[in-house]
Structure 1
């Protein structure tokens, strides 16, 4: 069933105007109408959608059609950045609610139906009188994941894609570190409590991912209790059944994840793609992987990375670039004005244009010292090892970083005061050091018992002794690893200039809670056991066997 087109109201136009000023979209070129639509799927269910049509002179065609698939509703908060800002500039936008959400039929099972449903949507679009033969896709986070699902089998008439802060592989995010990512619980809590479209503007705005991820005290208690799965089951009851499937399938190669992994889309996509991320986004690692894979294949892929969290990187700061990108590849009337990689360098606080990412660099070694220092000279062969104890019943807290909420660049000086954290800090730098790319840590590390995790972070200490985070890594360790050999761990990409007068800091801990399910120190399943054993971590520093390797800009 399809409703009649509805003209934009004065209130909506006012919100559009204010929103456009905030995101730097430039002046509107037209008014638009919105039409409620039901889209039939191959299994008989129907998806609810809104069709945004620009009001343009007779005989003219729209600037192009944009397809958006969204599980967070179609209300004012989410539709502005995904549809209305474009409709007011001459684009058609088909804004579709994901199966099982916000008026769409069927059952919501995250990631399992996007591949087939997106193909059905495209097939249906081709039969409509308003379809002009080509389209682009757009949307951040889960909306971007839906684009990767479509690109597993790329439609010939899909000519461009804009994919901010989005995963292509749900298994990677959920279990890729070897530990369960606990934002899957808070996201599931939000999705299982979603309101219908009749809610207030503010309640619909809260459905934007990242704005409603703050946990309730009840969920905080559930996540902190053992066994984790039992505690979550008591909290959720029959809500969010997919969450418990996640918990049952920790192996990322399990067949359960096959329909939720779209690496093949990176092998098949040929269209121009604009990727947008933030250094503190939840999915930065996947976005950088997407860029490298597509770029290595010769795909026309562009990358923007800002000093942003998940919400900030979702397009709020990139609308002018998105409009330029669509003008070149969808409308064919404009030009994307930036080079292949547009990167924000923290520390120097400047945007940098690059032909690719990462640029050529040279390695600079900082050696871990017995006195908890980082030094450019190797320590003596008889330097004593250093250690700490991680207690899963009093886990090391998550402070800023790549969390879904409460993340970003923060003061993380508190880590230096904790007995369960090793903090290695360099002397004051006498010259700038610009790091571009993937830092790595090579060190001889043991844990007793061998069932343990590592959290690594690089931070900068300013002239006042205050530390701020730059990049990080979490990894559950293989208990059967050869501990006589260096453990090599690559951190997340970063672009940061350590100014003269600052210091480099390496933080080493055994947990990051509640960002990740903590190691319990036993061979038992971490989500099903209630037995917790403290773990003693020891790092050998003698002879320079343990070091932080920074990729330093050779042109700086």
Structure 2
């Protein structure tokens, strides 16, 4: 036992036991000790951390070492799912608070210091008497982003990584659609307020970023007022200075974003990696890109995608898979027998084992028709276009989908009843239709004025007439676009079976608020503009120029 190390308390052991039962972690093999440590950075800053050491019989070695970097504290709830659950199964765990958070010195500047700090943590770690020559990394969301920052220069002694629901590119998340994702404001609000780990476990859990269903009504009001940047400055005051840098740099290729974009890591990592996501996660697109890129490089990479939101996919339902992965690649005591891709197919409500994602598919085309319909036959040359008006002062609301906390599969029937949404719905299907991959829409579209956004959602209408979301996309349109050409719009990937008797629905809208900053319809940018102009959208359907293309598959892969 190391000097200064504390044995696990009875209350901590009880929480570990109950938590392990909930997440399906199986039996503990030992208790553990924890020891607070300080880790020096190259600029003199010290990071706060806890080192967890399993209490194992003399002469036996730990199963391995896991490094976790976290900006959300090291309290009981978050340390359980990231460190203690593994320490009780024989692993050492170094749980580090990132710069400027929860006892670590320095200033938190979202995403910009993790690359150098993570390298310094590894250098310090190698000098410790308990270091045995190799380690793995683990952690979801921002904790996973820290891993990608480390992997810009991947240490040779890092032997495995578990990365759930994590971006490698913060710029792409913030501004990749051309509109600003407003969950960056709610996340920044929580990050700038909550540096206190006092209070009950439930109070601390409620205060963790990601549980933003508890965000303040005052922030909602601030997001609704114009101009957006001025309103947020009034609300935040001196808090969250990084948020206003985000707002200032709308070009993702701006030099400002360079420290926050870690595409190079995808070209450099060699160790086995387990990626986890959910169909309703905020970062699904980036996780699937990571998998595809690593697979093409022949990296040993595994992917799990469940019917989950961001919080659900952060590891709550994947602990058995994570433990199996660590047993093979770190402890060397087991094998990870799962396929390259373990995919949940909604609608069919079953897991599939696949050798790759997406699987091969055939295009299934539905044509947008007049009379708000989708059909398999191209409409006539005189088919009437569909139109709607998007009013920035009464924006189309965000319902479910890929929101940080309020997302998921929801009844979105009310969207179809709105006057600012065009709806196209098929007849009941005569047979099952399974789609695996990214649907696309060829949309012949105009807007007046030309400054406008598009939000598209693919839905399933069940036999009772209730609509539920399947996948979606958002895009700020270029005012200089050629209106004589159809837009090619790509949805997020999905895996869904439309069962016989259900109907396919496409929703077309001009916004999704408060998930995205709305288009104001003026030449002033959406962050600083105050004046608004309603935007008339017209969808031309004549002669089949607008169509929905679904990636149809026969049942692909084995039931997992």
> Would the TM-score normalized by the shorter structure come out above 0.5?
yes
The offset of 1:196, in angstroms, is 2.2
CA–CA distance in structure 1, aligned partners of residues 20 and 267 of structure 2: 36
1:14 alignment partner, SS class: helix
Residue 239 of structure 2 corresponds to: 239
CA–CA distance in structure 1, aligned partners of residues 239 and 489 of structure 2: 37
Residue 527 of structure 1 corresponds to: 527
Q: How does 1:63-82 map to 2 (within 5 A)?
A: 63-82=63-82
Give the conservation status (yes or no) of the 8 Å contact 2:191–2:209: no
Give the conservation status (yes or no) of the 8 Å contact 2:71–2:101: yes
CA–CA distance in structure 2, aligned partners of residues 384 and 403 of structure 1: 34
CA–CA distance in structure 1, aligned partners of residues 353 and 178 of structure 2: 35
TM-superposition CA deviations, 1:354-405 (whole Å, max 9, x none): 0010111100000000111010010011111111000000000000000012
TM-superposition CA deviations, 1:127-178 (whole Å, max 9, x none): 0000000000000000000000000000000010000000000000000000
Give the conservation status (yes or no) of the 8 Å contact 2:213–2:406: no
1:377 is the counterpart of 2:377: yes
1:285 alignment partner, SS class: helix
The offset of 1:241, in angstroms, is 0.4
Q: How does 1:285-364 map to 2 (within 5 A)?
A: 285-364=285-364
The offset of 1:555, in angstroms, is 4.4
Residue 405 of structure 2 corresponds to: 405
CA–CA distance in structure 1, aligned partners of residues 387 and 411 of structure 2: 24
1:448 is the counterpart of 2:485: no
TM-score between the two structures when normalised by the length of structure 1 = 0.99
TM-superposition CA deviations, 1:442-470 (whole Å, max 9, x none): 01100000000000000100000000001
1:261 is the counterpart of 2:261: yes
Residue 418 of structure 2 corresponds to: 418
Q: How does 1:125-524 map to 2 (within 5 A)?
A: 125-524=125-524
Quickly say closer, same or farther: Cα 1:404–1:390, change in 2 above 3 A.
same
The offset of 1:211, in angstroms, is 1.7
Give the conservation status (yes or no) of the 8 Å contact 1:3–1:37: no
Quickly say closer, same or farther: Cα 1:192–1:530, change in 2 above 3 A.
same
The offset of 1:208, in angstroms, is 3.3
Give the conservation status (yes or no) of the 8 Å contact 2:442–2:548: yes
The offset of 1:213, in angstroms, is 4.9
The offset of 1:83, in angstroms, is 0.4
2:214 alignment partner, SS class: coil
CA–CA distance in structure 2, aligned partners of residues 31 and 233 of structure 1: 48
CA–CA distance in structure 2, aligned partners of residues 165 and 289 of structure 1: 12
CA–CA distance in structure 2, aligned partners of residues 195 and 163 of structure 1: 24
TM-superposition CA deviations, 1:91-150 (whole Å, max 9, x none): 000000000000000000011100000000000000000000000000000000000000
Give the conservation status (yes or no) of the 8 Å contact 2:101–2:195: no
1:88 is the counterpart of 2:50: no
Give the conservation status (yes or no) of the 8 Å contact 1:213–1:404: no
1:21 alignment partner, SS class: helix
CA–CA distance in structure 1, aligned partners of residues 139 and 265 of structure 2: 16
Unaligned runs of 5+ in 1: none
CA–CA distance in structure 2, aligned partners of residues 191 and 348 of structure 1: 38
Quickly say closer, same or farther: Cα 1:554–1:200, change in 2 above 3 A.
closer
TM-superposition CA deviations, 1:19-70 (whole Å, max 9, x none): 0000000000000000000001111110000000000011111000000000
The offset of 1:215, in angstroms, is 2.4
1:149 alignment partner, SS class: helix
CA–CA distance in structure 2, aligned partners of residues 440 and 144 of structure 1: 29
Give the conservation status (yes or no) of the 8 Å contact 1:460–1:503: yes
Residue 111 of structure 1 corresponds to: 111
Residue 552 of structure 1 corresponds to: 552
1:524 alignment partner, SS class: coil
Give the conservation status (yes or no) of the 8 Å contact 1:390–1:396: yes
Residue 99 of structure 2 corresponds to: 99
CA–CA distance in structure 1, aligned partners of residues 413 and 230 of structure 2: 35
Give the conservation status (yes or no) of the 8 Å contact 1:34–1:51: yes
Unaligned runs of 5+ in 2: none
The offset of 1:204, in angstroms, is 2.2
Residue 61 of structure 1 corresponds to: 61
The offset of 1:3, in angstroms, is 7.1
Give the conservation status (yes or no) of the 8 Å contact 1:379–1:544: yes
1:469 alignment partner, SS class: strand
Residue 538 of structure 2 corresponds to: 538
Query: Which 10-residue stretch deviates more, 205-214 or 410-419?
Result: 205-214
CA–CA distance in structure 1, aligned partners of residues 358 and 529 of structure 2: 42
CA–CA distance in structure 2, aligned partners of residues 498 and 24 of structure 1: 31
TM-score between the two structures when normalised by the length of structure 2 = 0.98
Query: CA RMSD, aligned part only?
Result: 1.0
The offset of 1:217, in angstroms, is 1.1
CA–CA distance in structure 1, aligned partners of residues 532 and 215 of structure 2: 24
